[in-house]
Structure 1
Amino acid sequence: MKKYKYIIIGGGMTGAAAVMGIRENDPDGSIAVFSKEEFPPYARPPLSKGLWAGKEEKGIFRKLDELDVDLILDTTVEKISPDEKLVVTKKGKKYSYQKLLLATGGDPRHMPGAPADVIYYRTLDDYHKLKKETELKDNFCIIGGGFIGSELAAALTNNNKQVTMLFPEKGLSGTIFPENLSEYMAQYYRDKGVKVFTTHLVDSIVKEGDQFVVKYHSMENNEPGEAYFDAVIAGIGIIPNTALAEDSGITVDNGIVVDEYLQTNHPDIFAAGDVANFVHIPLGQRMRLEHASNAHLMGLLAGKNMSGEKLPYDNFPYFYSDLFDMGYEAIGDTNIRLDIFEDWIEPFKKGTIFYLNEGRIRGLIFWNLWDKVEQGKEVISSGKVFHKADLPGMFQ
């Protein structure tokens, strides 16, 4: 049995950042990172952004070569024993730890009954599969109108592919955008050449020869339809990977529950990234975020705390997206159930979207408006109550 001072389960952005955080305090402590993937840790956003615009793949990998870490790749951890401080792999190998980080992320939601070769886009391997498909085929179906779906639709269209989108919302990113912007973006995508079917549900996907037959219906009038595609990509969210934690007696509730120091109910076991249910200190509420900024910042702090510090996770993660010629940066809680106020410099082209609760700003989207994130963090953190008359021009 091999012994490590630190074990990290999950070889993504969070795990890589945790290694960096550990090494800031402990240059010599032994570290092992276990990953189900065959690749060393890499940045995930380029998979639906930069790689399709010509960015070199080698540039996405995290630079851990000089940090003296054992990367144990293509390996699944099947069990944790907190009392014995052991992890056991699927092949039965045991490893001991002093401090453990669960950075297990999430697994993509699957379409029930769909063929095995539907691409549930999340990993570098998925990028390789889809890239190979684009070299041979032209007609693609994307199920889902959120981050992955909208970014891939733009990327594939920019690479001269025919793209059809199917999703239940009334417009693009309908779970975060106000309805009018969401519907505007659906039409914007149509104008760019994407076939966009809003308020549509997929009923089934089957294979006929080399093609996929997708059957669907309108949620508005129940009208059925079907279409043939060369490939199908589904971006319909992820399920936090909490099985290891649950089986080990670690508290789980929409992710692995951690305190402000990213510790679980077992003080030597930490959790961070997409899988962690944490206290967003500036907002004063619990949440789970599936964004690259959060993955990196939380992993970095987890590594620091595992190696001797005790710092609260008070960072203010943000997310961003590129949608053809449009782009935005967002911070805080962008839940459409909040009170939304739009301050457009130019309608749907440039402006700020405010998400408020009882007059307090809880989230912001800066739409084609740049270098406003730090100012936005200060405004949200202030906790001030604003009247809507106070909001126009705040970020112009």
Structure 2
Amino acid sequence: MVNDHYDYLLLGAGMASDAAARGIREVDPTGSIGIVGREQTEPVTRPALSKKLWTDPDFTFDQVWTGTAEDTGADLLLGETVVALDTDRRTVSTASGREIGYGKALVATSGTPGSADVDDSHGTGRVIPFRSVRDYERLRGLTSHGSPHVVVVGGSYIATELAAGLTETDAQVTLVFTQDTLLDQMLPADLAGRVELPFRTHGVELVRGTGATGGEVRGPDGPVHLALSSGEQVEADVVVLGLGISLETGFAAEAGLETVDDGGIVVDEHLRSSDPAVWAAGDVAHYPDRVLGARRVEHVDHATSSGRAAGRDMAGADEPYAHTPFYYSVLFGVRYEAVGTLDASLEIVEDRQGPADDPLAQVVAYYVEPADDGTDAVRVHGVLLWGVDEGTEAPDAAREVLAAGPTDPASLRGRIVLGELGEA
């Protein structure tokens, strides 16, 4: 049954809200929980949509569902887009005209995927701004027969993961990205060059230094003609866009919540917004990280950790959010993790730990800048852990380096040794 008032109303039906509902139940076993979601489907383990569902034959589609409603008793109000938040009346309005009251609310709405101006007047669905489980199903269906040509646009985590994952199908894959070298905005130059090798080995055509500016789908079965900023055109059976997201927080700003320029909602150490009855978690939360300073993070570890913390705090736990999240990706079986800022414009101290015949198989890279304390010390802003196994203590070791303050750059090499780290 759908109520018109909930003790806890969670806006957004993603992993942050799933974690928040579970956090609430750890403290309050009976309070009513409602979850409002724009998508028509219940919460899913979103990273699997671009990773394991393509690359792990033991990970099946039925494993993507989080089971939020069954496990927490929350009501799912799906297919509802939040358009207004009234903090005085403590109500939320949706595009369908529904009004829902709350005692306490959580904004965890994430965002809409970036798009390109491609005319699909035939309604073919062959241009996919990739984000949801339905996007995964559509792409899987379009690549399940024959050898379609799939163009993936973007140099993001999701774009590179999808391009790599699609090589497990019979599709012909082209990856279009604006960088000169794939991931060169975040990786050391030699490692970025190395990353491109398995893409080429697996037959991915790399089209660099350009982006999509428009195009059209010519007929009910395609093809898609995609115009590039270089002046070239690419023809494809399917185009997948991995261009990041635009935050869905306009309603929060209009309600008077404090936000920053990118739409992030400013919260305190308890993830509470400028309104005492509204919290924010996941992608939309601009929070004070104890190690890294104020920031906003769009990765699953933060979504689940901040969601649980916000849920517990909403239910009365009164515990500050003290977690510094890590993020990860997997490309052709190589996993990399990171904590902090990976910005290739910073000075990078590389510690190559791989075997002699492949010195880039494992790399720890420290992203630093001068400490401005009159010495040669540096301050570490980010740590990349390349070629790390899943579930090790490497992120904790990286957090310790980041929290340590100014350090001698020569002391960084050997500080974290990937082969010596066990499971966390």
Alignment pair present for 1:32 and 2:41 = no
Alignment pair present for 1:322 and 2:325 = no
Aligned 8 A contact 1:171 1:185 in 2: no
1:300 is aligned, of 308, 321, 340, to: 308
1:374 is aligned, of 391, 396, 400, to: 396
1:216 is aligned, of 203, 228, 242, to: 228
Alignment pair present for 1:120 and 2:129 = yes
In the alignment, the residues of structure 1 paired with residue 189 and residue 128 of structure 2 have an alpha-carbon distance, to the nearest angstrom, of 29
In the alignment, the residues of structure 2 paired with residue 277 and residue 96 of structure 1 have an alpha-carbon distance, to the nearest angstrom, of 25
In the alignment, the residues of structure 2 paired with residue 392 and residue 114 of structure 1 have an alpha-carbon distance, to the nearest angstrom, of 51
Aligned 8 A contact 1:167 1:199 in 2: yes
- Residue type at the aligned position of 1:213: H
More displaced 10-residue stretch of structure 1: 129-138 or 16-25: 129-138
Residue 113 of structure 1: CA displacement?
4.5
In the alignment, the residues of structure 1 paired with residue 327 and residue 318 of structure 2 have an alpha-carbon distance, to the nearest angstrom, of 26
What does 1:121-200 correspond to in 2, within 5 Å? Answer: 121-137=130-146, 138-200=148-210
Percentage of identical aligned residues: 33
Give the gaps of 5 or more residues in structure 1: 219-223
More displaced 10-residue stretch of structure 1: 69-78 or 264-273: 69-78
More displaced 10-residue stretch of structure 1: 350-359 or 43-52: 350-359
Q: TM-score, normalised by structure 2?
A: 0.88
RMSD after superposition? 1.6
2:44 is aligned, of 42, 49, 53, to: 42
Aligned 8 A contact 1:108 1:237 in 2: yes
Per-residue CA shift, 1:31-76, capped at 9, x if unaligned?
Answer: 1011111111111000011111332111121133132211111122
Alignment pair present for 1:241 and 2:245 = no
Identify the residue that residue 415 of structure 2 maps to in structure 1: 394
- Residue type at the aligned position of 2:74: V
Identify the residue that residue 221 of structure 1 maps to in structure 2: none
Partner SS state of residue 287, structure 2: strand
- Residue type at the aligned position of 1:225: E
In the alignment, the residues of structure 2 paired with residue 393 and residue 276 of structure 1 have an alpha-carbon distance, to the nearest angstrom, of 35
Give the gaps of 5 or more residues in structure 2: 371-377, 418-424
Identify the residue that residue 18 of structure 1 maps to in structure 2: 20
Residue 186 of structure 1: CA displacement?
2.2
- Residue type at the aligned position of 1:320: Y
Alignment pair present for 1:279 and 2:288 = yes
In the alignment, the residues of structure 2 paired with residue 174 and residue 121 of structure 1 have an alpha-carbon distance, to the nearest angstrom, of 22
Identify the residue that residue 318 of structure 2 maps to in structure 1: 310
In the alignment, the residues of structure 1 paired with residue 181 and residue 29 of structure 2 have an alpha-carbon distance, to the nearest angstrom, of 50
1:364 is aligned, of 365, 370, 383, to: 383
Q: TM-score, normalised by structure 1?
A: 0.94
Would you say how many aligned residue pairs link Structure 1 and Structure 2? 389
2:268 is aligned, of 249, 255, 259, to: 259
In the alignment, the residues of structure 2 paired with residue 323 and residue 394 of structure 1 have an alpha-carbon distance, to the nearest angstrom, of 25
Partner SS state of residue 160, structure 1: coil
In the alignment, the residues of structure 2 paired with residue 68 and residue 208 of structure 1 have an alpha-carbon distance, to the nearest angstrom, of 47
- Residue type at the aligned position of 2:315: S
Identify the residue that residue 113 of structure 2 maps to in structure 1: 108
